[in-house]
Structure 1
Amino acid sequence: MNLQQVESILTTMQADYTRQFGARELLLDQLRETENELNQAKDDITNWEAEKLLLSEASEYARRQTVAHIEQVTTAGLQTVFTEEEHVGFKVKITDYAQGTPAAYWLITDKSGEHDIEHPPEEDGGGAADVVSLALRSAMLEMFRAEGQVFFDESGKHVDVKHIKNFAYFIEQYAEKTGRQVFNITHQAAVADIADVAYEIRKHDGISEAVRL
């Protein structure tokens, strides 16, 4: 092997080294870039998990506040109507499932400072379901600051006659405290009596007429 051949081999080896060195530097740059992206991804995941936890805590707090508000308003309604039931109240029972978070509503009594769940309000006689329904809707309207008038259609029609005046008083207090204009369609004279303006629908010879009382 002569000198010219040796120089040719060295030149080839040097070119191959330069090429591989450049490839190595490119790979190192890509590695550093990937590591930076990985670190950023880890930071993002940490932030997302923190945000998720914060939102979850905020959601749980809001839910507790909502439940407490609904229980308070509905219990006040029940106690206003059923004055002889000293410990009557209302309880919301929420259960978390994978497919959702259903809520069950219960009438409660207070025994020795402990809440005793008795039965759902729809199973109760005396019109408790009507009171719960009205109080729930009223609570939701005010909680979400819904605007406008309120229309009640035959509210309290299942309320026992001995409680109907208290039921009417509950509606009257709701209107006064919220400042809402309430329209109520009813067959109950006690409920009509609380109105600022009341009309009776009378029918004569097949013609209906609204007569102001």
Structure 2
Amino acid sequence: MAIELYTWDTPNGRKISVALEEMGLPYTVHPVNISKNEQFAPDFLRISPNNKIPAIIDPDGPGGQPISVFESGAILIYLAQKTGKFYPADPRRQVPVLEWLMWQMGGFGPMPGQVHHFLLVENPQDQRYGLERYMKETRRLYGVLDRRLDGRAFVADEVSIADFAILGWAWRHGRHKVDLADYPNVKRWYEAMMARPGVARGFEVALSC
């Protein structure tokens, strides 16, 4: 049975369509147009109590019973454990995957997201303060990622859900006002990831209401 994906064209939404494609899981897409506040609909609230996309319903969940999952990081872990893909069985090798997944969830997402916000602020003084603060931190995080990828193909030992999570936000580097040429290891990794057929399909999922 196909997983039901509730999503929109955002970094967090694209993480999950990429993961589903890479894992070879059948799924159907339910667009949730956040520009029209569809994330506040009561039906969506039942599966995503924080009113955020993405969310999924797996009709064939644990014990063969349906289950809903919200929060992109939780969805990635759930799907990886369900399929046994992109998440090592060895607990020691799980650690870097979880570390970099949490790094993305806690920093490389919230900080660039603030850049997106302040770029739209009309008051020049407020915009200047916000961009100075959050662009500095966003670029610091790109530097952290660049150092991690020095001599590495992926952020952990092999391609994992952590790469999918980070890729969702690196995809918006132009909106972060970040030139990947300044971060050559990130640029190499980004181009290699975007060249993967499953990743390409995940970013091409049509979303319309």
User: TM bucket by the smaller chain?
Assistant: 0.3 to 0.5
The answer to which structure has the higher strand fraction is 1
Higher relative contact order (CA 8 A, sep 6+): 2
TM-score, normalization: structure 1? 0.32
TM-score, normalization: structure 2? 0.33
